[in-house]
Structure 1
């Protein structure tokens, strides 16, 4: 068993927020961002549906053109309608439609549409579509929000546990057993976990780190510091030393 020599650069306690992100809290942040996007689109669709209900008008429009256009998501489908708006004479409007609607549309077909009286360029070619989409997105938003809350609770609990183990756990000198390579690549670097064995036989492993750095820095038999509290243990290189260690040193 070799003497202990600090090889990592964690000289101070890692903050709660940093631990939260490192332990998977980024999942909750992604879900929160997704919730914001879904809620925005849902609110926009329902707002437009309400406007069409209040100040929309029904018309029978003639399909005068159809076209496809490439986009980042694949292919966009467009249909051009010509119809007579109340008090505004003839109108020709092109609008994006679903692939199914586009496949069924034929030039010369007469289709029912709704349009806004104060803005005839705003057309709903599939009657009731805005309300259906808005309602569906609202339910999706609810599911994403619940998943986000669950993620915040799970990963927040992990961060709290890491702080507690570092603060209240025993400082143990453990022997490095090796590096467990993962099938995960971050910014082009293959990731792995440092594995260790403690004097009483308990084993553990670090958070993900680049495999190349772990193998260059640690060899089997090297000593590292871990903090152990019950069945949970964290490597000092992941969580940093406890504050009382700095105060006493």
Structure 2
């Protein structure tokens, strides 16, 4: 539920969150997930370097798995079932997901070179170093989302700092409410609104977003307190009174 206008001084964290700081959680979670996946894949790549064994296997079955998401978009997984013998004479049958090109290049009965782990023969590579390559790509993706996370942190943090500086050090002025304007933000199927005002200098400003009923006490023509920042004024209902 959106916060309510307040006269109490608002903390940096609360302003940061209300100004969109919560959006940084999305790239942050993705970054952490990709970092973990990269770490696990790199560990698997190291194991293949240490105990990987090369052999030749035979394709004994092929399958295309088709799934659809909630929007009806289709995705396909290309699966090969492969049989091979380890150096210890053990027969192993395992299923491996591949790319579409590799899948169509190998019919049932065709042979292919693979690498398996001595301690876990069901784990195989169909191209040497594929896990290390996957780890590198995942690391790069994690770096990209890490940068996006920093950007998502910086913008609301900069606005929150500007609002707090205005409340603490900016000139205190009286402005007149112009209107309660509909915003583009919806929370829990409820449209949010912003208080619009005009300052003595003629400059106009808008509040953060609230439920309409929260702004009803400030009708057009009402006087409100605004603290002047470098680039804009900030309503006391957003940042609290000095």
User: By the TM > 0.5 criterion, same fold?
Assistant: yes
Q: TM-score, normalised by structure 1?
A: 0.83
Other-structure match for 1:150: 151
Distance 2:67 2:14 in 1: 38
**Which of 40, 48, 51 is 1:52 aligned to?**
48
**In 1, are the aligned partners of 2:62 and 2:79 still within 8 Å (CA)?**
yes
Whether 1:228 and 2:228 are equivalent positions in the alignment is yes
Q: Describe how 1:196-211 pairs up with structure 2 within 5 A.
A: 196-210=197-211
1:194–1:214 CA contact under 8 A, matched in 2: no
How much is the aligned-residue C-alpha RMSD, in angstroms?
Answer: 2.3
Cα distance in structure 2, aligned partners of 1:9 and 1:230 = 22
The answer to whether the aligner puts 1:86 opposite 2:81 as a matched pair is no
1:62 aligns with 2:73: no
Partner Cα separation in structure 2 for residue 126 and residue 240 of structure 1: 61
Report how many aligned residue pairs link the two structures.
234
Query: How far apart are the structure 2 equivalents of 1:218 and 1:100?
Result: 64
CA–CA distance in structure 2, aligned partners of residues 138 and 163 of structure 1: 37
2:210 & 2:62 partners in 1: Cα distance? 53
TM-score by length of 2: 0.86
Runs of 4+ in 1 over 4 A off after TM superposition: 70-73, 214-217
Residue 72 of structure 1: how far off its partner (Å) = 7.0
Instruction: Structure 1: give runs of 5+ residues left out of the alignment.
Output: 1-7, 243-249
Q: What's 1:21 paired with? A: 17
Query: What SS is found at the alignment partner of 1:51?
Result: helix
* 1:121-136 alignment, distance < 5 Å: 121-136=122-137
Does the C-alpha gap of structure 1 residues 104 and 195 become closer, same or farther in structure 2, counting only changes over 3 Å?
Answer: farther
Q: Is the 8 A contact 2:162 2:229 kept in 1?
A: no
